Amino acid sequence: MKTIILSLALMPNIDYLKSIYSSEKVIIEKQETYKKQSFRNRYLIAGPNGIQTLIIPKKKDNHHKCKTFDVEISYDTDWQTLHWKSIETAYNSSAFFLYYKDDFKKIFSKHYKYLWELNLDFLMLILTSMGIKKEIIFTEKFVKIYDNALDLRELIEPKKSNIFQTYPVYYQVFSEKYPFKNNLSSMDLLFNLGPDCQNYLSKI
C-alpha cells in the first residue's frame, strides 16, 4: 500500500498499525463528521477477566453533527485514573510495561480539551515507541472518494476493523488463563513485544 487514508483512532488496534506499517504515506481524516460507537474514543485491552473495553467520555451533545476534531472530552468522571489502573492491572507484569509506562502515563495525566489532540498524541507515541516512521498529513476538506489512496477509514468501526485473516500468536500476560486475544489496542503489542513490534507486523 503506497498511500492510505485513515480516521484517527484512540490507541489503534493491530490492523490499523499494520496498515500504517505497510504504507508509504498516511493521510489522517480530520474533516469527517463524528460517529458514535467507534474506536475514536474506545480501545480494547486484555485484562485478568478477558477483553476489556475502555471508553473516554465525551461532553453531552458535543458530538452531534460536529467535526471529529471538535469533540470535547468530559471530565465529569475520573476516567484517567480508572483507565490507568486498568492498564496497570493488565500489563504491569508484561515484559516491557516498565520501559514504556512513564510516556503513556504522562499523556494520561494531561487535561486535553479535545479528543482529537489526545488521540494524535497517543498515535505519535506508539509509532515512535515502535520505531515506525511514516509521512503523515491531515485532510483540509472532506472527500468522499479517493482515487489515489486506499480508503481505510472504516477501520475505525468495530464491526469492520478485522481486515487481516491471520494474526501470529505472541505471549500475552494472561496467556495461561485465556486463549490468544487478537487485534487489541497497540498497547498490548507494545507492552508484550517491545522492540520486536515491527517484526511482528511484517508477518501479518
3-state secondary structure of 50: strand
Tell me, what's the pLDDT at 166? 75
Q: Tell which residue, 126, 95, 159, has the closest CA to residue 17.
A: 126
Tell me, what's the pLDDT at 163? 58
Q: Are strands 25-29 and 135-138 parallel, antiparallel or unpaired?
A: parallel
Tell me, what's the pLDDT at 36? 86
pLDDT one digit per residue (tens) for the chain, 204 residues: 699 999 999 999 999 999 999 999 999 999 999 988 899 999 999 999 999 999 999 998 655 678 999 999 999 999 999 999 999 999 999 999 999 999 999 999 999 999 999 999 999 999 999 999 999 999 999 999 999 999 999 888 887 656 566 789 999 999 999 999 999 999 999 999 999 999 999 998
Tell me, what's the pLDDT at 192? 99
Question: Is the C-alpha dihedral spanning 73, 155, 18, 178 positive or negative?
Answer: positive
Burial of 27 (C-beta count, 10 Å sphere; 0-12/13-18/19+): buried
Burial of 178 (C-beta count, 10 Å sphere; 0-12/13-18/19+): middle
Q: pTM of this prediction?
A: 0.94
